[in-house]
Structure 1
Amino acid sequence: MRPETKSLALHLGLLALLVIAQFVISPFHHGNLSRIMVLAVFAMGYNVLFGYVGLLSLGHALFFSAGMYGMGLAMQHLGVSALAAIAVGILSAFVLSAVVGAVALRTTGVAFMIVTLMLAQAGYLAILYFGTYTRGDEGFVIQPEFRTIAGLDLTDPTVRYFAAFLVLAVCLLLTLRLVHSSFGRVLVAIRENEERARMLGYDVFRHKLIAVVISGTLSGTAGAVYGLLFGYVGATFATVQYSILPLLWVLLGGAGTVIGPFIGTLFMFYLIDFSSGLTSAYMVVAGVVLVLLTLFAPQGLAGEVKRRLLPWLP
C-alpha cells in the first residue's frame, strides 16, 4: 500500500472515531470535544507555517481573532446571516494574513518572530481602541436566535458537535492534500535548506507568502467558527496567550505531522482539565508534564510515533 493511501486511511479512521464518539461520550466530554476540534483547526493552521516551513510565529492570535471579529462584527452591526458572517471572517483572515506575510517575510529568524508578535499586539490594541464597536475587553455575545445555518440550531449540542466535526474534517483533509502535493514538498525543502531550494530555482518568498496566507486563513476559519458555535467574541482571543497556545499544541502533538495538532490540542486540553481538579496550582503540574514530554519525546507524540513506528506518517 502506498504511503499516501496509508495516511489517508489513518486520518479517515480518526474522523470515524470522532463520529462514533458523539454517540458514546458523556455530555461533559461532548462539549469539550467540540471545542477541541475547532481549536485543533487553529493548531493545524499554525502547523502549516511552523511545522512545514519552519517559521516560528508569535502572532497567530491576530488571525484567529480576525476571523472571530470579522464574523462577529458582521452579525452584530451589519445583520448578516451566520453563514455569510463565517465567510466574512474567513475573508478578513485571508486579507490580513496576506498583508502580514508581505511585511513580516522581509525579515528572518528572530526578527520574524518579533514582527509577528508586534503586529498581533497592534491588533489586540486596535480591538481595545475601537471598543465602541468591539466592546473592548468585555466582548459581546452572539444571541442564540442568530446562530442558525440552513435551519440548523448551532446552540444544540449535537448540531454544534457535527458542525465542529465538519470544519475539522475539511481542514484536516485539505491539509493532508497540501502536504502530499508538490507545493507541500517545496515547503519542506525550504524548511530543511532554504538556500538549496532557492538554488534549485524555487521562488522561496512566494512559497512562504502562500504558506502564511494558508496558515492565517485556517486559523481565521477556526476563530470565526469558534465564535459562532460558542456564541462569544472577546479580546481575550487576541492576546499573546492565544499565540503561544497553538505553538504548544503543535510541539506536543508533533510539528510537521498532519495529525499532530489534533493530538496536541486534545492532550493539552485534558491535561489542564485533569490537573485543575487536583490542585489550584494546576499550571505547575501541566508545566512539569510538558517539560518531561519535551525531554523524552522532543518530536511530539505523533512525531515520536512517526520516528519509531510509522515513517510514512505525513
Structure 2
Amino acid sequence: MNETSKSHSLHLGLIAVLALSYFVLPAYHSGNLASVMVIAIYAMGYNLLFGYTGLLSLGHALFFSAGLYGLGLVMHLANWTPLPAFAAGLIAALVVSAVIGFLILRTTGVAFMIVTLMFAQAGYLTILYFGKYTRGDEGFALKQASRQIAGYDLTDPGVRYFCALLLFSVTLLGLAYIIRAPFGRTLIAIRENEERARMLGYNVTAIKLKAVILSGVVSGASGATYALLFGYAGATFATVQYSIFPLLWVLVGGAGTTVGPFIGALFMFYLIDYASGKTEAYLLVVGVTLVLVTLFLPHGIVGTIRTRFLRWLP
C-alpha cells in the first residue's frame, strides 16, 4: 500500500470511527464529540495558514466570528432559513478574510502577528459597538423552530452529531486533497523557503492571499456551523482567547498534519473538562500539561508519531 492509499485509509477510518462512536458512547460523550468536530474544523482552517504556509496568526477569531454572526444575524433578525444563512456566513467570512488578507500581507514576522491581533480586536469592538443587533457579550440564541433543514431538527442530538460529522468529513477530505495538490505543495514550499519559492517564479504574495482566504472561509464555516448546531452567537467568540485556542489545538495535535488539529482539539477539550471537574485551578493543570507536551512532544502528538515512527502520516 503506497502513502496515498494509507492516507486515504487513515482519513476514512477516522470518519468511520466517529460515525460508530455515536452508537457506542454515552450521550454526554457523543455531545462532546459533536462540539469537538466543530471546533476541529476551526483548527483545520488555522492549520492551513500556520502549519502549511508558516504564517502565525493571532486574529483568527475574526474569521470564526464572521461566519458565526454572518449566519446568526440573518437568522435572528431576518428569519432566514438555515441553508441560505449558512451561505451568508461563508460569504461574510470570505469578504472579511479577503479584505484583511490584502492588508495584513503587507507585513511579515512579528508585525504580521501584531496586525492580525489588532484586526481581531477591532472586530470584537465592532461587535460590541453594534450591540443593539449583536447583543454584545450577552449574545443571542437562535430559535429552535428555525433550526431545521428538510424536516430534520438540528436541535436533536443525533441530527446535530451527524451534521457536525458531515461538515467535519467534507473539510478533512477537502483539505487533505488540497494539501496533496500543487497548490498545497506550493504552500509547503513557501513555508520551508519563501525566497527560493519566489526565485522559482511563484507569486508568493498572491498564493499567501489565497491561503488566508481559504483559511478564513474554513474558520468561518466552523463559526457558522457552531451557531447553527448549538443555537448561540456571542461576542465571547471574537475575543483574543478564541484566536489562541486554534493555535494551541494545532500545536498539541501537530502542525502541518491533516488529523493533528482534530487530535489536539479532542485532547484539549477533555483535558479542560476533566481538570475543571477536579480543581478550580484547572488552568494551572492545563498550563503544566502544555509545557510538558511542548518539551517532550515538540512536533505535537501526531507530528511526533510521524517523525519517530510513521513517516507516511499526512
Counterpart of 2:76? 76
Per-residue CA shift, 1:183-206, capped at 9, x if unaligned? 100100000000000000111001
Equivalent position SS for 1:277: helix
Amino acid at match of 1:80: W
CA contact (8 A) 2:69 2:224 kept: yes
> 1:34-70 CA deviation, whole Å, 9 max, x = no partner?
0000000000000000000000000000000000000
Report whether the alignment pairs 1:307 with 2:307: yes
Per the alignment, residue 176 of structure 1 pairs with 176
Q: Distance in 2 between matches of 1:225 and 1:278?
A: 31
- Which residue in 1 is equivalent to 2:276? 276
- The 1-side partners of 2:212 and 2:191 are apart by 14
Q: Is the 8 A contact 2:42 2:218 kept in 1?
A: yes
Kindly report the root-mean-square deviation, in angstroms, between the aligned alpha carbons of the 2 structures: 0.6
SS in 2 for 1:313: coil
Whole-Å separation in 1 of the counterparts to 2:124 and 2:118: 10
Moved over 2 A (4+): none
Measured in 2, the distance between the counterparts of 1:141 and 1:194 equals 45
The answer for the alignment partner of 2:295 in structure 1 is 295
Alignment check: 8 A CA contact 1:4 1:180 kept = no
Structure 1 CA distance for aligned equivalents of residues 35 and 257 of structure 2: 21
Superposed, which structure 2 residues align to 1:190-201 within 5 Å?
Answer: 190-201=190-201
2:139 corresponds in structure 1 to: 139
Deviation at 1:277, TM superposition (A): 1.6
1:57 alignment counterpart: 57
Compute the displacement of 1:2 (Å): 2.1
**Counterpart in the other structure of 1:47:** 47
User: In the alignment, what sits opposite 1:35?
Assistant: 35
Q: Which moved more, 1:271-280 or 1:36-45?
A: 271-280
Q: What residue identity is the alignment partner of 1:142?
A: L
Unaligned runs of at least 5 residues, structure 2: none
CA distance in 1, matches of 2:99, 2:8: 33
Amino acid at match of 2:299: Q
Structure 2: which amino acid aligns with 1:182? P
What is the TM-score of this pair, normalised by structure 1? 0.99
Match of 1:8 in 2: 8
Provide the aligned length of Structure 1 versus Structure 2.
314
Aligned-partner Cα distance in 1 for 2:45–2:14: 19
- The TM-score with structure 2 as length reference comes to 0.99
Q: Is the 8 A contact 2:79 2:146 kept in 1?
A: no
- Identity over aligned pairs, percent: 64
Alpha-carbon deviations, 1:267-295, whole Å to 9, x = none? 00000111112111011111111100000
SS in 2 for 1:125: helix
Identify the residue that residue 149 of structure 1 maps to in structure 2.
149
Give the corresponding residue for 2:248: 248
